[in-house]
């Protein structure tokens, strides 16, 4: 066998790509897999730049990919972490209403949680909120005991290491950017910036670049990836005692982001955020990052402008907070009035790959398409990290059918 041939090629070594390769290797232990990653290390984008939350599945539409895969995926993820001694903590979270106007939305979340069989959820009154989180003020909350925190980079590294343990012929190949695929006889020739490879089956899990790679294969998308940056702040060592677990606001049901929240990280630190602002660079992690190609593509797509028109007030508010620590802290003070400006400092931001359709709708569910034997994971938004092992099963069912 040529050292440039692999039975399967997976493109993208974020957590979804790594989980897919791992599940594939378990299914076919004697077949070889190449996991291609354009960066020098794995998990450098969305996987390594998020809140690290193990989601409960309480928010998602019953019966959706998100709801089903989050429930099953959470169970698989926790079992995986236990087996391989990956640090995690099922610390629970609370979703806090701070005003009467938020109570109907909180009730809807609770009902949805019951429909999704979210374990152990219950209401908390003001006294119970303070018992759970002494610095958080609210009039009512939902306790979600199945939520937690984990190191997703550690999970991804373990997934990748297990692949080569199962089959030493399987390889992680870094600094290897996918270019395109051509059918040559009964094989597929995969062109990259490093080498050309042949394979029988290729699956692309490329996150922020998913639409561009799918376009190369003329896949039917009806969407485009638009990048949203999320800014975070970190509590000082003297202030981190103010949060014990995970604390979320009641989200705006018309907006697919969950709002700025408090997260007790796996290392004991506390982060708060993220906001959600349009990014002028798909992989731009600074507030002033700019990429001409990314910006041109986003701003010449009709769906982007329709989205802006729908949410222009929300978008302006998010941008104001992005450039004003005072406004960011003011938003957090709705739940923690005693939070001081000196309690938090900026820390590493993240970028979310959000699929937008031509009507300006944010594609809310997972989207996987196959064309000519090439499978593209076009949309894998949160809770993709939580659900990675379950999503991998879905991807393989579609790719191998």
CA atoms of 321 and 309, how far apart (whole Å): 19
In a domain? residue 83: no
Residues 337 and 208 in one domain: no
Residues 271 and 350 in one domain: yes
In a domain? residue 69: no
Q: What is the DSSP letter of 288?
A: T
Residues 172 and 40 in one domain: yes
In a domain? residue 234: yes
Nearest to 175 by CA among 36, 10, 40, 33: 40
Percent of the chain with pLDDT over 70: 98
Residues 304 and 384 in one domain: no
In a domain? residue 338: yes
**3 and 12 Cβ atoms separated by less than 8 Å:** no
For residue 272, what is the domain's CATH number? 3.30.9
Residues 166 and 41 in one domain: yes
CA atoms of 313 and 80, how far apart (whole Å): 42
In a domain? residue 167: yes
Q: Name the band, by pLDDT with cuts 50, 70 and 90, for residue 152.
A: very high
Residues 334 and 243 in one domain: yes
Residues 218 and 297 in one domain: no
Number of domains in the chain: 3
**220 and 378 Cβ atoms separated by less than 8 Å:** no
CA atoms of 112 and 95, how far apart (whole Å): 13
pLDDT at 256 over 70: no
Residues 280 and 343 in one domain: yes
Query: In this structure, what token pair is assigned to residue 161?
Result: 């290491």
Among 82-86, 101-105, 189-193, 219-223, which is the least confidently predicted range? 219-223
Among 92-101, 247-256, 275-284, 359-368, which is the least confidently predicted range? 247-256
pLDDT at 258 over 80: no
**248 and 261 Cβ atoms separated by less than 8 Å:** yes
Nearest to 40 by CA among 229, 231, 194: 194
pLDDT at 1 over 60: no
Residues 290 and 193 in one domain: no
Provide the pLDDT for residue 220. Answer: 75
CA atoms of 39 and 386, how far apart (whole Å): 23
**173 and 34 Cβ atoms separated by less than 8 Å:** yes
Model confidence over 216-244: pLDDT tens digits? Answer: 988 878 899 999 999 999 999 999 999 99
Model confidence over 363-378: pLDDT tens digits? Answer: 888 899 998 889 999 9
Q: Name the band, by pLDDT with cuts 50, 70 and 90, for residue 41.
A: very high
For residue 173, what is the domain's CATH number? 3.50.50.60
Provide the pLDDT for residue 255. Answer: 66
In a domain? residue 372: yes
Residues 233 and 293 in one domain: yes
Q: Would you call 218 exposed, middle or buried from its count of C-beta atoms within 10 A (0-12, 13-18, 19+)?
A: exposed
Provide the pLDDT for residue 153. Answer: 97
**51 and 263 Cβ atoms separated by less than 8 Å:** yes
In a domain? residue 80: no
Among 73-77, 184-188, 194-198, 369-373, which is the least confidently predicted range? 369-373
The domain containing residue 340 runs over which residues? 223-357
**234 and 271 Cβ atoms separated by less than 8 Å:** yes
Query: Mean pLDDT in the chain?
Result: 94
Total Cβ atoms within 10 A of residue 195: 13
Helix (H) or strand (E) run with residue 202 in it: strand 196-204
Q: Is 342 helix (H, G, I), strand (E, B) or coil?
A: helix
* 293 phi-psi bin (left φ>0, alpha ψ -120 to 50, beta other): alpha
In a domain? residue 76: no
Q: Name the band, by pLDDT with cuts 50, 70 and 90, for residue 64.
A: confident
CA atoms of 192 and 176, how far apart (whole Å): 6
CA atoms of 285 and 290, how far apart (whole Å): 10
Provide the pLDDT for residue 134. Answer: 98
CA atoms of 273 and 351, how far apart (whole Å): 12
Residues 291 and 187 in one domain: no
Residues 186 and 39 in one domain: yes
């Amino acid at each position: 066998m040529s050292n440039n041939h692999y039975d399967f090629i997976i493109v993208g070594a974020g957590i979804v790509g790594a989980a897919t390769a791992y599940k594939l290797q378990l299914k076919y232990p004697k077949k070889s897999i190449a996991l291609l990653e354009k960066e020098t290390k794995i998990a450098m984008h969305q996987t390594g730049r998020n809140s690290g939350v193990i989601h409960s599945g309480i928010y998602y539409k019953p019966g959706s990919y998100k709801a089903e895969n989050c429930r099953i995926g959470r169970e698989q993820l926790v079992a995986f972490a236990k087996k391989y001694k990956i640090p995690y903590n099922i610390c629970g979270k609370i979703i806090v209403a701070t005003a009467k106007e938020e109570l109907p939305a909180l009730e809807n979340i609770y009902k949805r949680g019951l429909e999704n069989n979210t374990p152990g959820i219950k209401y908390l009154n003001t006294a119970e909120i303070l018992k759970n989180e002494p610095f958080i003020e609210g009039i009512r909350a939902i306790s979600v005991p199945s939520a937690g925190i984990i190191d997703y980079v550690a999970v991804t590294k373990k997934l990748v290491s297990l692949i080569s343990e199962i089959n030493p012929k399987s390889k992680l190949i870094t600094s290897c950017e996918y270019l395109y695929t051509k059918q040559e006889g009964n094989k597929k020739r995969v062109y990259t910036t490093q080498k050309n490879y042949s394979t029988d089956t290729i699956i692309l899990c490329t996150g922020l670049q998913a639409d561009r790679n799918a376009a190369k294969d003329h896949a039917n998308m009806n969407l485009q990836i638009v990048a949203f940056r999320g800014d975070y702040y970190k509590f000082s060592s003297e202030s981190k005692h103010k949060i014990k677990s995970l604390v979320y606001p009641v989200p705006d049901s018309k907006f697919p982001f969950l709002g700025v929240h408090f997260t007790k990280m796996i290392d004991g630190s506390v982060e708060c955020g993220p906001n959600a602002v349009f990014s002028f660079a798909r992989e731009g992690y600074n507030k002033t990052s700019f990429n001409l190609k990314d910006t041109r593509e986003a701003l010449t797509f009709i769906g982007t402008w329709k989205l802006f028109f729908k949410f222009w007030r929300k978008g302006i508010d998010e941008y104001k907070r992005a450039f004003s620590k005072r406004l960011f802290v003011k938003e957090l003070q709705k739940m923690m009035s005693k939070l001081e400006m000196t309690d938090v400092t900026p820390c590493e931001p993240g970028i979310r790959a959000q699929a937008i359709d031509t009507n300006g709708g944010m594609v809310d569910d997972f989207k996987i398409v196959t064309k000519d034997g090439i499978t593209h994971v076009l949309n894998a938004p949160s809770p993709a990290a939580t659900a990675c092992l379950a999503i991998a099963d879905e991807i393989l069912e579609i790719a191998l059918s």
